[in-house]
Structure 1
Amino acid sequence: MQTPAPIDLASFYANPDRSVAVLNYNEHFMSSIFDLVNSDELAQFVQLFLTEQRAKTPADANPATTFNLVTPADYLTTIKAVLTDRTDAYNQFQPAEILASIEDLYSYYRTYLRVATMTIKQNDVMASEFMMIDQQFNDLVIRLYRTIEEKLQGHANHVYRQVNAGSTACVLLQKVNWPVPTGYEALKDIRFMSRLMLRPPMMLHTKSNKRKGHFTATAVNPIENFTGTNEDWYCYPALIGESLAYIYFHRDYLASGLALANLFQLADRDQIVGKKPDLVLLFGTPGVAGDDQPENGHYFYDAQNQLYVGQVPYNDQTTYFGYMKKMCLTLHNLHMIAEKRLPIHGSMVKITFANGQTKTVVFFGDSGAGKSESIEALQAVADEQIASIETIFDDMGSFTLADGKLYAQGTETGAFVRLDDLSSEVAFNNMDRGIYMNPEQKNARVIIPANTWPRVVAHHEIDMWVYANNYDDAIGVHRFTDQKSAEATFVAGKRKALGTTDEVGMSTTFFANPFGPVQEQAATQPIIDAVFDQLFKDDVYVGEIYTHLGNDKSQAKLNESARDLLAELLAL
């Protein structure tokens, strides 16, 4: 079946190919059941629904008894007759047949990611007001559904479930004046996300569930191919570490755009008005013909404006949230390298022990090496020896040398993790805040808040830095005594790929980080050298932990390695 064309009204957009719907409350806010049932928005959505239903209906179905085969006009006429208790409502179809179709329509609408928007001037709508307005619409949709349902079944419901009937999220949009460089005028009128209201747990589904390839440099600024408008594009202004990023995306990527709220700090208005960003991402715009991996994404450094510009094309593959996240981090890491900071692909935690001691540990390695699993195992074997573990960064951070000292900072305020990597305790404790991506599939992910932005970007000293070794068969941890062999191990970036990307088997990645250091190896190497010099000068523990994830995935062996790690930490 060919996917029907999107609905594109000023007040309502629905794309069945991406299962994304956008409601514009500024254009039309429905305040009553009859306003809703008589709306053009509902009429067009019913037509979309019936088009898809007919494709699923057997060819020999009897039009006289199959309600899904009526015209959209007759469908709505019947609904209105039911609502007003007209006796002719059931002249052709039985209540049970109508009810079954209404249930399907209601369920079909709720399969969409439904995002309500309001565009404001200055601060004329406060946060509490926009949430209240959105709740009114949700109440209206569920009231219409229940009224029809109870009339058709002939009695009131025995159980009521307060689902998010109208919208999944609501966004306040606002135009922001910032110093738009020459050549970037197409971005001037695109609205910024000012406030977001999410209704977690959010279960989102995308057409892709895995990232492929690398992002590469392009010789042409992606802004030259940008054709978006303020009607179909939005901007999420993010603080990625201390980098200011303006992340522009097509509305069909709202699943990824909303998920950013659980991962990167949303910048305040006073942090963006009149401020030129460090990074700009155009997500869902064409690339340049002839570029390497045109289906994947590219970056460009605009030296004149001192601006890193990223581009990811509109296609099914890039619906996976990893593309949005990793391109943001690639641009940030390139910015860090230019500032002589070292991007770190890993997780950093601050452990508070029961005896009052605190230790900061950085787990290092490429995707699937066992960084998150090592932290989980450490927590599992610690019994009561660990009072708490604070996540400073979950995937990417940076090391900075300043005044003869080395410190670390994070980038993300949240975590984008595989569901399989989470303990049941962590998974259930965060369920009511999570944004879940394709939870029924392999490589299912959840994005959960982890820490506050001021805490993430604070200057943290480092007590231990360990490489997550998932390929050797050893057990425990190993401390490097030789600086050259330590640096060689970290720079080689060996791992056995687990299928979280398109790689399989043994692989090597420069400094275990394909998001910046790989692209700028010559600029990164001197920073690596300086960092290792400082680490060994300060006698910081630099080693590796054997995770076994690339071999037998033995939890018992990983737990044993975690016990050795715990012992080393307590001895520091």
Structure 2
Amino acid sequence: MPTPATVDLAAFYANPDRSVAVLNYNARFITSIFDLVNSDELASFVQVFLADQRTKVPAEADATTTFNLATPAVYLAMIKAILTDRPDAYQRFQPAEILASIEDLYSYYRTFLRVATMTSQQNDVMASEFMTIDQRFNDLVIRLYRTIEEKLQGHANQVYRQVNAGSSACMLLQQIAWPAPTEYTSLQDIPFISRLMLRPPMMVHTKSNKRKGHFTASATNPIANFTGSATDWYCYPAMIGESLAYIYFHRDYLASGIALANLFQLADSQAIAGKKPDLILLFGSPSAAGDEQPENGHYFYDEANGVYVGQVPYNDQTTYFGYMKKMCLTLHNLHMIAEKRLPIHGSMVKITFTNGQTKTVVFFGDSGAGKSESIEALQAVADDQIANIETIFDDMGSFTLADGHLYAQGTETGAFVRLDDLSSEVAFNNMDRGVYMNPEQKNARVIIPANTWSRVVAHHEIDMWVYANNYDDAVGVQRFADQVLAKETFIAGKRRALGTTDEVGMSTTFFANPFGPVQEEAATRPIIDAVFDQLFADDVYIGEIYTHLGNDKSQEKLNASARALLTELLAL
């Protein structure tokens, strides 16, 4: 089935293949329903819609009486005739058929991720007004739809639903000067996102729903192949832990680009002006010359300029948000290793008990090992013994040794989790804040905010560090008495894959972290040694929890392990 052509106007961009649309309010802001029905933007989208509908109309349909077979000009003329109450409006097509088609057009438009943009050099006023401006457009679209609907059905509606009719999100863009080295001048005109408004819950659909392979080093800086422009690229400036990252992405990756807002702190424009980043990501850019696996992502360390540069190419596979997230974390982790910090693939929570005690626990393991599930089970079995569980990091953090002390920090302010892993309480409590990725498919995910950046990057002491063992048939937890055995277990990174990546069966990953340590194993090993030496010297609980997720996925056994963990925590 051929894909309808992309619309690329100054004020409106729509790519049916990626279900992405961009509305540029600076190029044109429509203020009345008559301006809207007479606009080139609506005409172009109607053409896309009718091309899509013609593939669904039966072959024997009569083009003279089937509204979805009308030309765009006839279709728009009919809309105008209805709005102006022309008496000859229904001579060719029946009102019921027109209404059904208008409903289809309205629904089809809302299947697109629709992101509005505004650009401002001085955004003090715009920062408070851009959401109001966007709301006016949403009100305009829904008013046009309801006016046509009620005229066709001959009466007013009894029930009104305030859906996001015009846009799904709105971005305030700003040009920000930063000291780009000569090689990076092609990035300087690309606007930064300075403010972002989401309309959750957002349901986003991508052409891929699983990540494959690893990110590998490139011999060539990907910036050499960059061909983007200020028209079709944006920059999300992020704080990933304490790393400053400039995440550049093609507009067809807006689903991933705006979802970053629920995962990484959007850096303040005043704070980044004049700052060279630690990390740069080019998402949707051609691979560097000579790269192996050109369909996957690569990174390059620009030693002369002291910046890690990542690149993920434009293809259907990389529409899965995991590529955006994991490349960002890979670059950050490489930066941490270079600074002699140890990247941790896991979840860290600070538990406040009703008896007044607080304990900080790090759950460690690769994807699907049972880190999040163990936390959920712990909360479920605790009854009234736990007053609060605060998430410090959900997927990636780092351990730092300084002056004979060890502390942990997180990277993300949000969580990218499988819907199946969420308890109903957590799922419903966060529904109105989430960005949902392919919710009807296997490995469906949601991105939800979890904590503030200042709390995430604070220096946290560690009371317990447990490996999430999803492959052995034991129940409970065990503490390692032997440092060598403990270190061997964590370094081996064993797990039984659960289908969240392209891996199946038993697998091993160096230090359970394919996002940095695997790429820089030699540099990571001495940091691991130093961390384990300090943890055992401080008598920190180092152990493993048996999650059973790779075997029978028994909730009863996982709960039993969580009860054993709870007992150990209360005894510390």
**Which interval holds the TM-score relative to the shorter structure?**
over 0.9
Rounded Cα–Cα distance in structure 1 between residues aligned with 2:81 and 2:64: 18
Question: Which residue in 2 is equivalent to 1:149?
Answer: 149
Give the whole-Å Cα distance in 2 for the aligned partners of 1:290 and 1:196: 37
Query: Following the alignment from structure 1 to structure 2, what is the Cα–Cα distance between the partners of residues 295 and 63?
Result: 43
2: CA distance, partners of 1:275 / 1:86: 60
Give per-residue Cα distances to partners, 1:422-479, cap 9 Å, x unaligned: 0000000000000000000000000000000000000000000000000000000000
Q: Which residue of 1 aligns with 2:302?
A: 302
Match of 1:327 in 2: 327
Q: Name 1:456's counterpart in structure 2.
A: 456
Rounded Cα–Cα distance in structure 2 between residues aligned with 1:69 and 1:448: 42
Residue 280 of structure 1 is matched in structure 2 by 280
| Correspondence 1:332-343 to 2 at 5 A | 332-343=332-343
Change (3 A) 1:124 1:478: closer
- Cα drift, residue 182 of structure 1: 1.2
Output the amino acid matched with 1:370: G
Equivalent-residue separation in structure 2 for 1:309 and 1:271 (angstroms): 21
Post-superposition Cα deviations, 1:346-398, rounded to whole Å, max 9, x if no partner, equal 00000000001000000000000000000000000000000000000000000
Residues 464-479 of structure 1 mapped to structure 2, 5 A cutoff:
464-479=464-479
Letter in 1 for 2:155: H
AA matched with 2:68: N
Runs of 4+ off more than 6 Å: none
1:327-476 correspondence to structure 2 within 5 Å: 327-476=327-476
Instruction: State how many pairs are aligned.
Output: 572
**RMSD of aligned residue pairs (Cα, Å):** 0.6
Is 1:105 matched up with 2:115? no
- Residue 195 of structure 2 aligns with which residue? 195
State how 1:533-548 maps to structure 2 within 5 Å.
533-548=533-548
The answer to whether the 8 Å contact 2:6/2:15 transfers is yes
Provide Cα deviations, 1:294-322, integer angstroms capped at 9, x if missing partner. Answer: 11100000000000000000000000000
Gaps of 5+ in 2: none
Greater CA deviation, 176-185 or 120-129? 120-129
Contact kept, 8 Å, 2:224 with 2:288, in 1: the verdict is: no
Q: Which residue of 2 aligns with 1:561?
A: 561
- Using the TM superposition, give the Cα deviation of residue 128 of structure 1 relative to its aligned residue in structure 2, in angstroms: 2.7
Give 1:314's aligned amino acid: Y
Tell me the residue number matched to 1:570. 570
Q: Which amino acid aligns with 1:441?
A: Q
Aligned positions of 1:73-88 closer than 5 A:
73-88=73-88
Aligned-pair distance for 1:39?
0.3
Partner of 1:292 in structure 2?
292
Secondary structure at 2:164's aligned position in 1? coil
- Correspondence 1:227 to 2:227: yes
Q: Give the Cα separation in 2 of the matches to 1:525 and 1:287.
A: 30
Q: Summarize deviations over 1:263-305 as a string: whole Å, max 9, x none.
A: 0000001221000000000000011343222111000000000
Counterpart-to-counterpart distance in 2, 1:546 and 1:527 = 26
- 1:179 deviates by 0.2
Answer whether contact 2:221 2:288 (CA < 8 A) is retained.
no
Deviations 1:17-73 (A, max 9, x none): 000000000010000010100000000000110111111111110112200111100
Distance in 1 (alpha carbons) for counterparts of 2:5 and 2:156: 37
Residue matched to 1:253: 253
- SS class of match (1:511): helix
Render the CA deviation track for 1:393-433: whole Å, top value 9, x for unaligned: 00000000001000000000000000000000000000000
Aligned to 2:49: 49
**Separation of aligned partners in 2, 1:160 and 1:399:** 52
Aligned-pair CA distance for 1:93? 0.6
SS at 1:125 equivalent: helix
SS in 2 for 1:504: coil
Q: Deviations over 1:184-206 (max 9, x none)?
A: 11001000000000000000000
In 2: Cα distance, 1:436 partner to 1:467 partner: 29
Q: Distance in 2 between matches of 1:117 and 1:40?
A: 18
Task: Tell me what 2:118 maps to.
Answer: 118
SS in 1 for 2:183: coil
Give 2:21's aligned amino acid: A
3-state SS of 2:178 partner: coil
Question: Which runs of structure 2 are paired with 1:25-64 in the superposition (5 Å)?
Answer: 25-64=25-64
Partner of 1:22: 22
Q: Is the 8 A contact 2:364 2:468 kept in 1?
A: yes
d(CA) in 2 for partners of 1:289, 1:180: 22
Structure 2: distance between partners of 1:69 and 1:498: 46
Query: Secondary structure at the residue paired with 1:162?
Result: coil
- For residues 118-197 of structure 1, the aligned pairs below 5 Å read 118-197=118-197
In structure 2, give the amino acid aligned to 1:248.
Answer: Y
Please give the secondary structure, in 1, of the residue aligned with 2:107.
Answer: helix
Q: Who is 2:502 aligned against?
A: 502
Contact 2:418/2:444 (8 A) holds in 1? yes
TM-score of the pair, normalised by structure 2: 1.00
Taking the aligned partners of 2:288 and 2:190, their CA distance within structure 1 comes to: 23
Residue identity matched to 1:113? L
- Which deviates further from its counterpart, 119-128 or 67-76? 119-128
Give the secondary structure class of the aligned counterpart of 1:180. Answer: coil
Change (3 A) 1:124 1:355: closer
Give how far 1:124 is off. Answer: 4.9
Letter of the structure 2 residue corresponding to residue 34 of structure 1: F
- Give the letter aligned to residue 444 of structure 1: A
Q: Which amino acid aligns with 2:107?
A: S
Secondary structure of residue in 2 paired with 1:129: helix
**Whole-angstrom CA distance in 1 between matches of 2:4 and 2:221:** 34
Distance across 1 between alignment mates of 2:10 and 2:527: 51
**3-state SS of the aligned residue for 1:118?**
strand
In structure 1, distance between residues paired with 2:542 and 2:526? 19
